[in-house]
Amino acid sequence: MMIIDRTEVNEIKKIKKWLLIYGRRKTGKTFLVENFLTFDEYFFVKRDRTILSKKDQKEITYETLTSLLERGLSNGNTIVIDEFHRLGDDFLDFIQYINKKGKLILISSTLFLSKKMFTSKSPILGFFAEVPVRIIRLDDCLRTLRQYNLDKKRLLETAILLREPLAIEYFDPKENPRKTLVKILQYSTNAIPALVGEIFVEEERSISAIYEGILRAIANGNTVSGEISSYLFSRKTIQKDDPSLIQQYLKNLMEFGIIKRIKVYENKRLIYKHVSPLVRIFYYADEKYNISERRVTDGELERIIDEIMPLLVEDSIREFLAEKLGLEESVAQAKDFDVDSVFLRFKKPEALVEVKWRDTIKTSDISEHLKKLKTKKSYLFVPDKRKIQTETVLGMKVVDILDFL
């Protein structure tokens, strides 16, 4: 299976404190620790609270674990406990009093307990460096994929797909990434919503329904908190159409890396976006075409993917270029025009990017209103600039993904 070198590995290795590594399921937390960090013991806590020692594949008791932990840390060892939250509050109290030598690495995939550890009442507050593990960065995927000599369009679409570790096992360099996406949607109808659903297992069912509703609302194009609130109210998920009722839910989803918030330039509005392209595709397809409740043909899934791919590229490129340029990402929205990406420095626009994810582009496809935004740089981002006959369109420099690698 392909291994993508992740930028955060080197950052984690530099941290000397005890580590709490957290994030939703299937972001590669366990793989990262097992393959890139050095440790002496690795324990995994199963759902029934039995504990498995990965060193010899034997089950041990809780009492044996605490004894091994106390002795190992005193000897300066590094010990990993995966899904530690299943051990309960007694384990947090135990950690408070043990010797702080050695290195303890805890891994968790639930929001409830991860947040509980950071509260002012937590017995272990301040003991750990908090390390959220999100989906893979786009530039890490692009860097790994360069060895396959893919054409530019396939390179970027494949990189967007592989940001979700679940997709890596489906990767075939000879296959169009949209065909690969069809396979994933066909065979992962239950797995994809479970990626984010399990982080709320400790919450009440009614609360989990609100989280699920927010993800569906955003995928359906309701990206402002007022629109999300109205969506939830219309489905009787909340009792009143009031955006203030969902602010904590939105905050929690952002903290756990499920959604992100983006500014609207020259506007006080904030919009919310899915972080995972794969999760967004699933909820988009399920909201509009009900794919989880019926058998969907490959042809229909291909049409859905063709429909949403340009939107995925817009969001991915906005995030990617904001990091590359060292600027804040935002969008511009007005009654008569939208701009895919506006990059800000101290609230002032430095650059704009308009994405046209098709091979043939006419000048009439580009809004004249883009000129209203006075920026130092403006780019027209296309699949492959060699297929465009001119280097600039309406004053915008024509670029593709290789210009930024």
Condensed to tens digits (0 to 9), the pLDDT of residues 109-119 reads 876 666 666 66
243 and 169 part of one domain: no
pLDDT recorded at residue 340? 86
Selected residue with higher pLDDT from 207 and 294: 294
Report pLDDT for 103: 95
- What are the start-end ranges of the H helices in 327-399? none
pLDDT for 32 beyond 80:
yes
Alpha-carbon distance of 374 to 405, in angstroms, equals 26
User: Quick check: 134 and 23 in contact, CB under 8 A?
Assistant: yes
Tell me, what's the pLDDT at 66?
95
DSSP per-residue letters across 55-115: TTTEEE-HHHHHHHHHHHHHTT-EEEEETGGGG-HHHHHHHHHS---SEEEEEE--HHHHH
145 domain residue, yes or no: yes
**Claim to verify: residue 142 and residue 120 sit in the same structural domain:** no
Does 394 score more than 70 pLDDT? yes
3-state secondary structure of 209: helix
Please state which of the ranges 10-14, 98-102, 173-177, 400-404 shows the lowest mean pLDDT. 98-102
CA 257 to CA 253: how far, in whole Å? 6
CA distances from 386 to 153, 206, 360 (A): 12, 52, 11
Which pLDDT does position 193 carry in this prediction? 84
Say what the pLDDT of residue 405 is. Answer: 86
Which pair of structure tokens corresponds to residue 43? 């324990």
Task: Give the pLDDT confidence score for residue 98 in this predicted structure.
Answer: 86
Name the domain count of the chain: 3
152, 218: one domain: no
User: Which has more confidence, 204 or 47?
Assistant: 47
Q: In what order do the strands lie in the sheet with 377-381?
A: 270-274, 259-264, 328-333, 338-345, 348-355, 377-381, 396-399, 392-393
The whole-number average pLDDT for the span 334-361 is 87
If one compares 203 and 142, the residue with the highest pLDDT of the two is 142
pLDDT at 255: 84
Q: 111 and 32 in one domain?
A: yes
Mutual angle of helices 138-145 and 152-162, in 10-degree steps: 130
Question: Does residue 235 sit within a domain?
Answer: yes
| Whether 305 and 166 share a structural domain | yes
Flag whether 326 is in a domain.
Answer: yes
* CATH classification of the domain holding 278: 1.10.10.10
Flag whether 273 is in a domain. Answer: yes
Residue 311 belongs to a domain: yes
Domain boundary at 268, 289, 310, which? 289
Shared domain for 202 and 165, answered yes or no, is no
Point out the domain boundary residue: 289, 317, 332.
289
Q: Which of 204-208, 211-215, 342-346, 358-362 has the lowest mean pLDDT?
A: 204-208
pLDDT averaged over every residue in the chain: 89
Per-residue pLDDT at 123 exceeds 90: no
* 125, 209: one domain: no
Q: Are residues 299 and 178 in the same domain?
A: yes
* 399 and 306 within one domain: yes
**pLDDT greater than 60 at residue 368:** yes
Tell me, yes or no, whether 370 and 391 share the same domain: yes
229-264 pLDDT, tens digit each: 999 999 999 999 999 999 999 998 998 889 999 999
Exposed (0-12), middle (13-18) or buried (19+): which is 98, by Cβ within 10 Å? middle
d(CA 235, CA 216): 11
Domain limit, last residue, from 222, 255, 289: 289
Share of the chain above pLDDT 70, in %: 92
The reported pTM is 0.90
Same domain, yes or no, for 39 and 86? yes
Cα–Cα nearest to 322, from 138, 162, 135, 131: 138
Q: What is the mean pLDDT of residues 169-192?
A: 92
| 153 and 216 in a common domain | no
Check pLDDT > 60 for residue 204: no
Residue 2 lies in a domain: no
Q: Is residue 34 part of a domain?
A: yes
**Mean pLDDT across 382-389:** 90
Enclosing domain of residue 317? 138-189+294-404
Which range, 53-57, 185-189, 312-316, is most confident?
312-316
Q: Is 260 part of any domain? A: yes
| C-alpha–C-alpha distance, residues 7 and 22, integer Å | 17
**CATH code of the domain covering residue 40:** 3.40.50.300
Burial of 55 (0-12, 13-18, 19+ CB in 10 A): exposed
Of 125-129, 185-189, 323-327, which range is least confident? Answer: 125-129
- How large is the average pLDDT for residues 95-105? 89
